[in-house]
Amino acid sequence: TFSYGAMAYSGRDFHPANESPSRAHGFCKIGSSSNRVGYVSVAGMRDKELYAQILGIHKSWRVADVELKEPTGEVEVFVERKPGVQQTCPIYGDASSGYDKRRRRWRHLDTCQYKTILVADVPRVQCKKHGVVMVKVPWAEPGSRFSVLFEALVINWLKEASTQAVSRQLELSWNAIDGIMQRAVKRGMARRASLDPKHIGVD
């Protein structure tokens, strides 16, 4: 594990003069303090506390460990369900009994120059109505292998560059990018208010 003395971040990616995307594309907004909105002092904060703050997981989940893998250029953040948390069906929220756990991995925003991977043994519950179902995690959508914040980053890049460029710079397959786009479209359609026109013109 490792600790941090300070952290700085920006809500904007910077490009060099040739306009090629920067590899250091990881950033995050971690709440607010009494001094400056959007900034939190992390002086003396340990790695697990820092990532829990970044991920915003304080209710039912906790960061169990953080491993820096220098040979592969990765940071692995291990997240676990807090003991004693009531197990519920993710569909309707009915109380359910625990069934088993399945290990899952998600790519998150980079930590400086290191690719960041979230790892968790996600519980599955036995619901009386829906059978065995996996609980939802707060940092990713069901079925996705990327965190919500990472998917938002990809969508922002796709507004500025081609799919090929985004695939190359973020080291993603075309299928992965297509899945991220499909989920973004689904979210957008769900947010659209249903139209109930009062008048229809025919030309």
How confident is the model at residue 41, as a pLDDT? 57
Q: Work out the burial of residue 111: count CB atoms within 10 Å of its CB; fewer than 13 is exposed, 13-18 middle, 19 or more buried.
A: buried
Number of domains the chain is built from:
2
In a shared domain, residues 147 and 170? yes
pLDDT (0 to 100) of residue 196: 65
The answer as to whether 23 is a domain residue is no
pTM score over 0.85: no
Question: What does the pLDDT read at residue 57?
Answer: 86
Do residue 93 and residue 160 come from a single domain?
no
Q: What residue numbers bound the domain in which 92 lies? A: 44-139
For residue 3, what pLDDT is reported? 34
Q: Are residues 144 and 131 in the same domain?
A: no
Residue 122: inside a domain: yes
Residue 41 Cα distances to 13, 29, 45, angstroms = 22, 12, 8
Which DSSP state fits 128?
A: T
Chunked into runs of 10 residues, the chain (203 residues) has average pLDDT values of 32 34 42 49 72 87 93 94 90 89 96 94 93 94 94 96 94 95 89 70 75
